[in-house]
Amino acid sequence: MADILLNEVNPDLVPKRRLPNGDEMPAIGLGTFGNDSVDAQTIADAVYDAAMSGYRHFDCAAVYGNEKEIGCALQKVMAAGIKREDLWITSKLWNDKHKDSDVVPAFRQSLDDLQLDYLDLYLIHWPFPNFHPPHCDVTSRSKDAMPYIHDDYMRIWRHLERLVRIGLVRHIGTSNMTIPKLQLLLRDAEIKPAVNEMELHPHFQQPELFKFVTDNGIIPIAYSPVGSPARPERDRTPEDTVDIEDPVIIEIASKYNIHPATLAVKWSQQRGSVPIPFSVKRRNYLANLQSVISEPLTAEEMSRIAAIDKNCRLIKGQVFLWKDGQEWIDLWDLNGEITK
């Protein structure tokens, strides 16, 4: 198995998702959030090697604190002959840059740090202006924390639409949104979101939101597709379940002679989302890339995995709550209404 997994992948063979303007997004990307534990240079080195091994899609964000290092890695990638137009680079606006005067400078900072003259995709990372310091614990709250305010979100969205019109970004999208919030955005946007980046893994399949976004022509990007086994302590609770220890996942993975994590990535891509698994281990990120070009899962295997959903959200977002006495579920509009 090791020899097969260590082979590079021809990027032309990697499935793509076509966007309305004809652009093609590689249907798997490499995550770049080190979960507060992997350093920036190690992640940048993985980006370089992953690109040399067949990855073309990289999920970045200002708050991951490594866009400068990744920018240097991307320069090396292009110096080695991979064309800019063959790469798909995403970045995200962090929650502390939601003010009118901050949006465009924050975007330009990411562009400068990544050493690029345009981005393929720019996302609003969370629909709240609430943020937390790196390495904080679960009780941390920003002092001016606010609920979702649609007019404020639309003000940011208008800046993003202008960035598309002047050619600095090709597509814009959302992250950590809910159906009622997306309904308002779809009603008011001049440029519709191309993607919604959302938590998706076998134990958290979000079938209703998944259907809503795909029915509206929005591509679901699956974050934490493996179930984020290395997530920070603030994102762990005793009730959390472990996808890669699920007997169904283990059994199907062993049939294909792959790690349960790789199976979770393979399932995610075959289901119709674009997984962005994180790893800095060559063997693992190559296995994930290999998985999307190898023999597909059977319909029966897809159904068996669909049946192990446990509605187990891992990235609950407690640090973004805005008033005392709230529960993390208040962030997710579970009754179909935006929480005030």
Q: Is 152 exposed, middle or buried (0-12, 13-18, 19+ CB in 10 A)?
A: middle
Give, as ranges, the residues between 21 and 50 that touch ligand NAP (CB under 6 A): 31-33, 35
Binding mask 164-203 for ligand NAP (x = CB under 6 A): -----------xx--------------------x------
Q: Which of 48, 55, 64, 285 is catalytic?
A: 64
Return the structure tokens found at 164. 């598309």
Does the footprint of ligand NAP cover residue 83 (CB under 6 A)?
no
CB 226 within 8 Å of CB 243: yes
Secondary structure of residue 283 in the 3-state scheme: helix
Does the footprint of ligand NAP cover residue 296 (CB under 6 A)?
no
Does the footprint of ligand NAP cover residue 234 (CB under 6 A)?
no
The interface region with ligand NAP, picked from 20-28, 109-117, 284-292, 328-336 by CB under 6 A, is 284-292
Residues binding ligand NAP: number (CB under 6 A): 31
83, 143, 187, 281: which one binds ligand NAP (CB under 6 A): 281
Nearest residue to the partner ligand NAP, using Cβ:
31
DSSP-assigned letters across all residues of 25-49:
EES--EE---TTTS-HHHHHHHHHH
Does the footprint of ligand NAP cover residue 128 (CB under 6 A)?
no
The interface region with ligand NAP, picked from 208-216, 276-284, 299-307, 326-334 by CB under 6 A, is 276-284
Does the footprint of ligand NAP cover residue 88 (CB under 6 A)?
no
Does the footprint of ligand NAP cover residue 153 (CB under 6 A)?
no
Give the integer Cα–Cα distance in Å for 129 and 237: 24
Which residue shows structure tokens 């939601």? 98
Q: Is 64 a catalytic residue?
A: yes
Q: Is 35 exposed, middle or buried (0-12, 13-18, 19+ CB in 10 A)?
A: middle
6, 230, 250, 306: which one binds ligand NAP (CB under 6 A): 230
The distance of closest approach from Cβ of residue 81 to ligand NAP in the complex, given in angstroms and rounded to an integer, is 26
Q: Which is nearer to ligand NAP, 205 or 262 (CB)?
A: 262
Give the integer Cα–Cα distance in Å for 155 and 163: 13
Give the integer Cα–Cα distance in Å for 92 and 61: 5
Give the integer Cα–Cα distance in Å for 176 and 189: 17
Which element (helix H / strand E) includes 290? helix 282-291
**Mind telling me the catalytic residues?**
64
Residues near ligand NAP, by CB under 6 A:
31-33, 35, 59, 125, 175-176, 197, 223-231, 259, 261-262, 276-281, 284, 287-288, 315
